[in-house]
């Protein structure tokens, strides 16, 4: 499948568009891959399946429109490379470091349960193998929680870079229009991704 069209280059959201001091905002919860794998292994009850399907069916249209309204420069979608794979691509493209606070990263409520049962898809291990050299973890974060950040997502949300001067108004508008949004980290000098507890 190929999509063709025209774009205004001045209004594109770019993977390498992060700037020092930006806040990182995530627009969907994580945990889709581990939950759908639990479903394939017949370990996920119907309520878990309903949760993950509800999130996967939610379009990124409103989040993208909000990003355009605030004239943001940096964005990517969280899909097969997992949260950390796509986050590192943004960091590498901008030549900057991302500081992620694990406790601020949102997960669907059943994700931790399936992570502890190690229901991760093979792609999570592949992502960890490839991206680990670019990532540093706080030693207090358990391995299954680290793996959740490598978990491939189907129809994941957007990871946006929001300038500090816009973050309060951006989050207020997101709340007003019922667009989920979580501040999960910040952009600092360096060339890695650090995950802290």
Q: Could you list the residue range(s) of the whole structural domain that residue 55 is in?
A: 19-196
Whether 63 is in a domain gets the answer yes
Whether 40 is in a domain gets the answer yes
Angle CA(97)–CA(103)–CA(106) in degrees, nearest 5?
Answer: 95
CATH at 57: 3.90.650.10
Whether 153 is in a domain gets the answer yes
Tens of pLDDT, residue by residue over 145-154, are 999 999 999 9
Q: What CA–CA distance (Å, rounded) separates 41 from 63?
A: 33
Whether 89 is in a domain gets the answer yes
Give how far Cα 58 sits from Cα of 2, 5, 62, 170, Å: 22, 24, 10, 20
Whether 30 is in a domain gets the answer yes
Q: What is the pTM of this model?
A: 0.95
Strand order in the sheet with 158-162: 74-77, 158-162, 23-26, 182-188, 97-101, 193-196, 135-137
Whether 8 is in a domain gets the answer no
Q: Read off the pLDDT of each residue in 60-73 and give the average, rounded to a whole number.
A: 97
How many domains is the chain built from? 1
């Amino acid at each position: 499948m190929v999509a063709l069209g025209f774009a205004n280059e001045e209004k594109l959201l770019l993977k390498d568009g992060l700037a020092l001091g930006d806040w990182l905002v995530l627009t969907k919860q994580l945990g889709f891959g581990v939950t759908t794998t639990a479903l394939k292994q017949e370990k996920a009850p119907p309520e878990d399946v309903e949760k993950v399907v509800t999130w996967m069916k939610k379009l990124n249209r409103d989040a993208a429109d909000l990003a355009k309204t605030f004239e943001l420069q940096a964005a990517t979608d969280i899909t097969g490379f997992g949260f950390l794979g796509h986050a590192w691509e943004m960091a590498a493209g901008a030549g900057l470091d991302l500081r992620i606070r694990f406790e601020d990263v949102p997960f669907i409520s059943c994700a931790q349960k399936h992570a502890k049962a190690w229901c991760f898809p093979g792609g999570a291990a592949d992502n960890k193998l490839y991206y680990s050299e670019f990532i540093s973890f706080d030693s207090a974060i358990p391995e299954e929680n680290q793996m959740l950040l490598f978990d491939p997502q189907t129809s994941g949300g957007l990871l946006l870079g929001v300038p500090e001067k816009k973050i309060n108004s951006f989050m207020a508008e997101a709340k007003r229009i019922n667009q989920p949004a979580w501040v999960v980290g910040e952009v600092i000098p360096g060339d890695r991704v650090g995950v802290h507890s």
